[in-house]
Amino acid sequence: MMGTFLDKRSSMNSNTVGSPGTALTTTPALFGIIGLQTQNVANPIVTLSGTIGISGDFGDTYTIEIVRGASYSAANVIYTAVGVVTAVATTQITAFTAQDLLAPAALETVYTSFVSGATTSVRNGPEVFSGEASTSA
């Protein structure tokens, strides 16, 4: 049997390098939110992906987290990636892909993406977060 497509959504916070130009903080900051229509399917397969541009001092670290829900909660983090700035005076684009294989059966499941890190680093765009939900069979 083949899986069935349920929904696909995207959230673009910035479509270019240089924007939003916001300094990172140690508190996770939202850069994308989507609501996937999962139609009460049990165990949907949810694939989440995105990109974010970061610039900063060599060795600065930053953390990308994806949360199931509309606001940040460490208890609801389903994915964490840590990056390191390796080039100074340029924007470093980081791409990520994650899956939520324990998504609940619900009409809609909301996912949010957050970034935090060294305060000498800047969210320098582009910033995109997207997701797709399907059934396993």
pLDDT tops 80 at residue 137: no
pLDDT tops 90 at residue 3: no
- Residue 70's region, left for phi above 0, alpha for psi from -120 to 50, else beta, is alpha
Instruction: Give the global pTM.
Output: 0.94
pLDDT in tens, 24-46: 999 999 999 999 999 999 999 99
Angle CA 72–130–102, to nearest 5: 60
How large a percentage of the chain has pLDDT more than 70?
A: 99
pLDDT tops 80 at residue 81: yes
Domains of the chain: which residue ranges?
5-134
CB 97, CB 47: distance < 8 Å: yes
Question: Within the chain, what is the greatest distance between any pair of CA atoms?
Answer: 51
Q: What's the whole-number mean pLDDT along residues 4-10?
A: 96
- The domain defined by 5-134 folds into Jelly Rolls (2.60.120)
CB 32, CB 50: distance < 8 Å: yes
pLDDT of residue 7: 97
Cα(119)–Cα(127) distance, rounded to whole angstroms?
18
